[in-house]
Amino acid sequence: MTKTVEIFANNLSEEKVITFKEGILGLEDFKQYVLLSPEKDLPFKYLQYTESEAVALIVINPFLYMPAYSFDIDDETILALDAKEPADILVLAVVVIPDDYTKMTANFTAPIIINTSNMLGKQMVLQDAKYQIRTPIFEVYQELISRGAE
Amino acid sequence: MLVLTRKKGESILIGKDIRITILELDEEKMRIGIDAPRDVKVLREELLAETIHSNIESSKFQKGVLEKLSDLNGHA
């Protein structure tokens, strides 16, 4: 049994389902996900599609990896998520881990925004070019695991 | 596609509240100013394409890589 399948089976029922009404960019047909943690204490999570264990994105808390990360959530996203309280908002960045994992990158230009009060999610593409779609994160990842951060 | 010729400093109006102005021109590129309501999404097209590409790549991650990463954690 693969790692993801184990995670899928162990945690799925306990977790709240996040609905992306428009899907995630490039994965428009896949609308419902749960946010799962790996078994070991690693500084990333999985955004696991509820209907197939084969579809999961690796995501991180972008503020953990880039403390100065900051952007304004656009009106379209606020409206789509019916977001009212800033404290309800969870922000994730999508990670790509190639075979050579030292070349892992995170997309700081298109954060995933989740309203935890109604569990609606949307991926938002930032208009300015402040951040890169493929920001290298391996060095920070190593620092985080050596510090034992969650 | 509608094709128009504009000089530096000239604008195009789209509907009632979108104005696109040519600010600077050189041989390779131009700077464009866009006035639009906040609810109109203005995107660099390649950002959307690259995000789609990286999302799909992320969703196809190799389980073996994660095991290697877990080992790295164990040895840290």
Instruction: Judge whether residue A71 has pLDDT over 90.
Output: yes
Count the Cβ atoms, other than its own, within 10 Å of residue A25: 24
Residues B12 and B36 reside in one and the same domain: yes
Distances B47 to A18, A70, A124, A127, B53 between C-alpha atoms, Å: 24, 18, 11, 9, 10
Instruction: Judge whether residue B34 has pLDDT over 80.
Output: yes
User: What are the tens digits of pLDDT across the range A76-131?
Assistant: 899 999 999 999 999 999 999 988 889 999 999 999 999 999 999 999 999 877 89
Instruction: Judge whether residue A8 has pLDDT over 70.
Output: no
Residue B2's identity, in one-letter code, is L
Residues B58 and B23 reside in one and the same domain: no
Residue A1's pLDDT band (boundaries 50, 70, 90)?
A: very low
Interface touch A58/B42, C-beta < 8 Å: no
Residue B50's identity, in one-letter code, is E
Q: In what order do the strands lie in the sheet with B18-25?
A: B11-14, B18-25, B30-35
What value does the mean pLDDT take over residues B1-26? 94
Residues B62 and B73 reside in one and the same domain: yes
Residue A70's identity, in one-letter code, is S
Residue A11's pLDDT band (boundaries 50, 70, 90)?
A: very low
Interface touch A27/B57, C-beta < 8 Å: no
pLDDT, position A15: 59
On whether any CB of chain B is under 8 Å from the CB of A103, the answer is: no
Residue A92 C-alpha, separation from nearest chain B C-alpha, in angstroms? 12
- Alpha-carbon distance of A40 to A147, in angstroms, equals 14
The total number of structural domains in chain B stands at 2
On whether any CB of chain B is under 8 Å from the CB of A56, the answer is: yes
B48 with B42: CB under 8 angstroms?
A: no
User: What are the tens digits of pLDDT across the range A23-38?
Assistant: 999 999 999 999 988 8
Asked whether this complex has an ipTM greater than 0.85, the answer is no
Structure-token match 């490039």, residue found: A26
Residues B17 and B36 reside in one and the same domain: yes
Residue B35 C-alpha, separation from nearest chain A C-alpha, in angstroms? 13
Q: Which two tokens stand for residue A112?
A: 């995933």
Helix or strand (DSSP H, E) at A95: strand A89-96
Among partner residues B50, B56, B70, which is closest to A40 by beta-carbon distance?
Answer: B70
> Which fold does the domain A3-147 belong to in CATH?
BH3618-like (2.30.290)
- Domain extent, residue B25, equals 1-41
Residues B57 and B26 reside in one and the same domain: no
B residues 2-61 near A, CB within 8 Å?
A: 38-39, 41-44, 47-48, 50-59, 61
Q: Which two tokens stand for residue B58?
A: 């992320």
User: What are the tens digits of pLDDT across the range B35-62?
Assistant: 998 778 888 888 999 999 999 999 887 6
Residue in chain A lying closest to B64 (CA) = A99
* Domains of chain A by residue range: 3-147
Residues B61 and B34 reside in one and the same domain: no
